[in-house]
A and B are shown apart, each in its own frame.
Chain A
Amino acid sequence: MSPAPTLYRGREGMWMWVVHRATGVAIFFFLVVHVIDTALVRVSPEAYNEVIESYKTPIFGLVEAGLVAAIVLHAFNGLRIIAIDTWPWALRHQRMLVWVVWGIMILMMAAFLPRHLSNVFGGA
């Protein structure tokens, strides 16, 4: 018989731990790049505009969509971690809360993607 799953061993809790780390690292490296590209406003308006144009290309548009999804997952899983540290009810239902986090991500992306993708692919 295999040992019973715990908060961080096996099943949803363990995989959310992996997702939290992976999204955290991705967001960290994007943040470093994002501060540097924003710093170009101190070089010249043209230098900034030229680099920021690349954020409006289809490939970057899709990367941004992935980044927003990563931020939403990391944010709401962070709230789940706070909840299971704080309330015994949340600890007992931590696996269900994983699916709540994914549900919130899907809802928020359903609100974000149509607008964002039409901005990216609609042509301005």
Chain B
Amino acid sequence: MNDNEAMNTDEKELLSALKALAREEEGLAAGPHVEARVMRAWDEARGTGAGRRPSYLMPALKIAAAMVLAASAAYWWGGGAVPPAGPEPGVEPAVMASWPSSETLAWLDPEPESLQIVHVRVASAALAAQGYALSDPDGDGLVELEVIVATDGTARGVRVIPGSAAIY
């Protein structure tokens, strides 16, 4: 005799009622927010998931950051330990490349350090064309500047020689 045969009528009806209750609850389930929390926990524990950066991205970002730091260090200290003199406001080394060479008069001063100071006379009109208006105290159309040049030939800084001109 199995369990069902041993049951009396009340028990059978109770089982029937329990089955009806089970059928009514068949559609019940935890809300989607529970799944979201569980899968977020998975992502945090395993370091994966759609909401996170791809795994290859972090090393790439680290390499890029290291390259930027290395380039900065090379720029500031690559030619020697002496930091450059700060350029005058509005006068940038990049301007040098566009200056017409025929209007530039330059000579080198020997320096004990690896940096050299180059004195240049530049057409004030050329600087004005770059947006840097300088006075011309000698009236010859030229202004005198100092450029700090590293051994690799890169300009580290530019300044107007005091008394030779004034920036407007």
A, B in one complex: no
Q: CB within 8 Å of A: which residues of B?
A: none
Q: CB within 8 Å of B: which residues of A?
A: none
